[in-house]
Amino acid sequence: MPIRPLSLPRVIGHRGAAEAAPENTLASFREAKRQGAHWVEFDAKLSADNRAFLLHDDNLDRTSNTTGPARARLYDEIRGLDAGSWKNPAFAGEKMPLLAEALSLFAQEDLRFNLELKPCPGRARETAKIILDELAHLWPAARPKPLVSSFVLECLEIARDQAPELPRGLLLEDHPANWLDLAQNLKTDTVNIWDGAATPEWVAEIKAEGFGLLVYTVNDASRAKQLIDWGVDGVFTDAPARILAAVGQ
């Protein structure tokens, strides 16, 4: 059972407010705050020159004006890409920000956050080490500690060993029989599960073991309310305002 209390919100803006703004951008985080979110979630990985920046996919194709693997590009190249027009011409010129820029914005806007370690293939170890080191140096010690999560077990092992003071979240896409062993071995504080795998029985099981429980990605208000009624602590959503109207803070 987790040993430290962790205050979780009912609503976390998924990649900011990804329904309204280009995901994982400063514009998206500002929009999440405008919609009333107190927490946001985002994905961080490394460029070819080991600079921590925000991007979900392994490739640049879906959320920029170029193609190819992110791990092959220097950050200065990535910085020159348009990461907004794919969503809406109003966001033309939006950048894939450095982790440092996102952290600065969160401090200014008083946003709490869940950082997902999202390494490019084969880069789990250096991704976790570099990003955790940046967090230690750049996130103000006086502010609430962020939740660090990952699907990649090696990343969570490194987080457990390198930054034991940071709350950790185990991300799961299905319902593995050994979920409890994984969570206990990694000393996680939360279990973050896919909406499609969530059942009343599994929710009750996770909560009975003392873990915080977050569900992704929930954009339907009635579903969000059902999950909260089951005992889920909070949901990740692309539409914070809509879900906040249904379940509150």
Cβ-contact 143, 164 below 8 angstroms: no
Q: Is 56 a catalytic site residue?
A: yes
Using an 8 Å Cβ cutoff, are 60 and 73 in contact?
yes
Judged by phi (left if over 0) then psi (alpha if -120 to 50, else beta), residue 24 lies in left
Amino acid at 53: F
Instruction: Give the residues across from 69 on adjacent strands.
Output: 59
Separation between Cα atoms, residue 94 and residue 83, nearest integer Å: 5
**DSSP letters of 94-122?**
----BHHHHHHHHHHHT-EEEEEE-PPTT
* Given 38, 56, 137, 175, the catalytic residue: 56
User: Active site residue: 14, 38, 137, 175, which one?
Assistant: 14
| Residue 137 is a catalytic residue | no
Active site residues: 14, 56
